Amino acid sequence: MFKRLVVRLVFSVAAMALCPRPAICAARVTVNARPNEITIGGLFSGAHVAVSGMIPAASEAVVIVTGGLQDLPLKTKGRAFGILWMNLGNVTFHHVPTLYIVNATKTLEQSGDSVSGEGQRLGVGFDWLKAQWEITPNLGDKDVLSREFLKLKESEGLYAVHDGTVHYGSAENGMRSFETDVHIPARVSPGEYEVKVLALNGGQVAGAATEHIEVEEVGVPAFLSSLSSKHGGLYGLLAVLVAIGAGLLMDFFFGEQQGAH
């Protein structure tokens, strides 16, 4: 009996040495995303993913959906000679995610959960996001360009932070369930996306869990995407023919009306 007690004590001390904050290290977090497969067809207008799971009862859940990183070239606009609004040059944003959506219970700045340590590594919020990417060439106004970039992505529905969108069930055995609805915009690209839930407790990350969803094109969008990547010349010719056809149809339906005036 004494020998067992000594063994348990040794293992307890070792566990404390490896994990100096047992409440954080031992926290159990689960996450579920349904559906975990989304198909983009000809009439695709976006999708909704139901995210649910379990977190420690005293924690708040933050759900983050992110896409893969990319380098995105964009044109900068401004006033030339103080009067003309026109393209002034090109810049490239490096290491920006194709999708970044955050669902939280409340605004992190107001809740006192200033995410630090592991949370900074995992990434929460637009301020963290802006610190990760690079912009070339260096024009000396990264903050201005970053704000405009975020506005563009928010207008496309690809970047968003939603407060008050996570809901909880009753606590039981030190755990409680959570659920939230994540809107996947129509402009989402095919690929694998990560659904991550952070359990925040007292300004610290008490636990985390990850799920994945797959987005793929089917039907006409898949055909056009394959055509553009494998047969660029044929795709360009098809695009020209479609544009000409559309112009002829517009002229057929509205040309006579315009001539009557």
206-224 burial string, b = 16+ CB within 10 Å, else e? Answer: bbbbebebebebeeebbee
The string of pLDDT tens digits covering residues 119-164 is 556 668 888 888 899 999 887 778 888 999 999 999 999 999 999 9
Q: Is the pLDDT of residue 60 over 60?
A: yes
Average pLDDT of the residues in 2-25: 42
Averaged pLDDT for residues 230-240:
57
- What does the pLDDT look like over 80-92, one tens digit per residue? 444 444 455 788 9
Residue 28 lies in a domain: yes
Residue in 155, 190, 215, 182 with CA at minimum distance from that of residue 101: 182
Residue 233 in any domain: the answer is yes
CATH of the domain at 212: 2.60.40.1930
Q: Phi then psi for 40, rounded to 5 degrees?
A: -100, 105
Q: Is residue 12 part of a domain?
A: no
Looking at residue 255, its pLDDT comes to 61
Closest C-alpha among 33, 185, 30, 29 to residue 101: 185
Residue 246 lies in a domain: no
Residue 223 lies in a domain: yes
Question: pTM (2 decimals)?
Answer: 0.72
CB contact at 8 A, 94 and 134: yes
Domain region containing 172: 23-240
Could you tell me which residue, 38 or 254, shows the higher pLDDT?
38
CA distances from 223 to 8, 226, 230, 234, 240 (A): 62, 5, 10, 12, 17
- Residue 241's pLDDT is 61
* 51 vs 241, residue with greater confidence: 51
7 part of a folded domain: no
Q: What is the pLDDT of residues 165-216, one digit of tens each?
A: 999 999 999 999 999 999 999 999 999 999 999 999 877 888 999 999 999 9
In a domain, residue 122? The reply is: yes
250 occurs within a structural domain = no
Instruction: State the total domains in the chain.
Output: 1
Which amino acid does the sequence have at 161? V
